[in-house]
Amino acid sequence: MREPLDPVLRPIDVFAGARDASRPEDRLREVRKRAARLREELLSAPPVPCYRSRGLVRVPYPTRYALRDAFRGPTPFVHILNRVFLVQFEAEGRLRTLLASPSDIRANAETPFFKRLGGMFGPFKDLGQRLIAPELGTVESCLAEAGLLPEDIDYITYDHLHTQDVRRWLGAHERPGYFPRAKLLVMRQEWESTLALAPPQRDWYCPDGIDGVDSSRIVLLDGDTKLGESVVLMATPGHTEGNHSIVVRTSEGIFVTSENGVGPDAYAPRASRIPGLRRYAEDTGMEVVLNGNTLERGLDQYISMVQEKEVAGASRQNPDFPAMVSSSELSAYALFPGVTPTFSFGDLTLGKPARPARDNTKTRATGAALSA
């Protein structure tokens, strides 16, 4: 594993070689064992001082993808709620701020799959968009609520780059970004995939979403990486080849975020009341239900979901489900009946955000100009 230049980022080898066995069952067993080790290590670390999640937009998503092969019902779509996560942690003697899944809602709507879906409304597109994909907030408003400025963000990350256009945040083609200091943390495989997509992937990536971004703003990770003592970006290939999970030790235990699954029901189908999930798990022996729009690496995705839920452990809010706070979480919606989640986390507020101590005079003016 290559050492990143940033001293805050430390490669770890907890899962090194865990998937090398030729027999899938052996890989699953080894990953489960290593996950327990990482969980124990993180539980001995101090909780991060601040962990927040806020809803940005609800989007329609085919049920056949969200609950792959498990759902039994006529509802063709579900609603998934895209969230942004604010995590503050101590590293190298000072407070750092990580923003996970900051979505540029308007730019992301250019993703081919969702653009076609919006086009179904014809001349009533705007009304349909507000009805089917209501916006709940923006990255900017979430930042303002937390009392932070754009220059306070050190890093941004996404569990994968489906639908993401990062140019507004990082800048592109010499146009400055909204976050003047932030660097994108991304797995090397995810970045390389995005540069040369195959047809099965292309429908889910925002066209030109990374075009023209200054390479100095990008940090490519070659595997599991620790930020401070209480945050881990954990490689969990499956939903995409370069998928990773955001693992955070909080005051309520360990929260794990990714989109390998669309919510707690997907990680504990035997406890689910969504039609079909429990029966599916009992009939097949499946521990989890894959979020399967592209199935880039289906078997790896299954192993990764087990890895994620083992690291997370049981939720303190509802011990029947693991503490999996999905970046796009299944949510109830009247227009899509029959797919109400058994349990969901909603917005989380743990700790109070704080501004880091630094001279922000110059960058504050830049951030204000970009907000105008």
pLDDT, tens digit only, all 372 positions of the chain: 555 568 999 999 999 999 999 999 999 999 999 999 999 999 999 999 999 999 999 999 999 999 999 999 999 999 999 999 999 999 999 999 999 999 999 999 999 999 888 776 554 455 455 667 789 999 999 999 999 999 999 999 999 999 999 999 999 998 999 999 999 999 999 999 999 999 999 999 999 999 999 999 999 999 999 999 999 999 999 999 999 999 999 999 999 999 999 999 999 999 999 999 999 999 999 999 999 999 899 999 999 999 999 999 999 999 999 999 999 999 998 888 889 999 999 999 999 999 988 654 444 433 433 333
- Cα angle 107, 337, 277; round to 5: 95
Instruction: Look up residue 270 and give its two tokens.
Output: 């035997």
Cα distance between residue 332 and residue 274, in whole Å? 11
* Domain count across the chain: 1
Nearest to 310 by CA among 45, 35, 42, 43: 35
Is 361 part of a structural domain of the chain?
A: no
Residues 6+ apart with CB under 8 A from 81: 55, 57, 58, 136, 328, 329, 330, 331
Residue 360: inside a domain: no
370 inside domain: no
In a domain, 1, yes or no: no
Residue 126: predicted pLDDT: 55
Q: Which domain holds residue 262?
A: 9-346
* 315: in domain: yes
Collapse the DSSP code of 45 into the 3-class scheme (helix H, G, I; strand E, B; otherwise coil) and give the result: coil
Backbone angles phi, psi at 266, to 5 degrees: -70, -25
- Identify the CATH number of the domain in which residue 67 sits: 3.60.15.10
- Confidence (pLDDT) at 120: 64
DSSP of 46-86: PPPSEEEEEEEEEEEEEHHHHTTTT--SS--EEEEEEEEEE
Confidence (pLDDT) at 121: 55
The tally of CA atoms less than 13 A away on the side-chain side of residue 312 is 29
87 forms bridges with which residues in the sheet? 51, 98
Whole-angstrom distance between the N-terminal and C-terminal Cα of the chain?
A: 42
Is residue 357 one of the residues assigned to a domain?
Answer: no
Residue 2 resides in a domain: no
Query: How far apart (Å, rounded) are the C-alpha atoms in residues 30 and 171?
Result: 41
pTM over 0.85: yes
Strand segments, DSSP code E, in the chain are 9-11, 50-62, 77-91, 94-100, 155-157, 171-172, 175-176, 183-187, 218-221, 225-227, 231-235, 244-250, 253-257, 328-331, 348-350
- Residue 248: inside a domain: yes
CA atoms within 13 A on the CB side of 306: 18
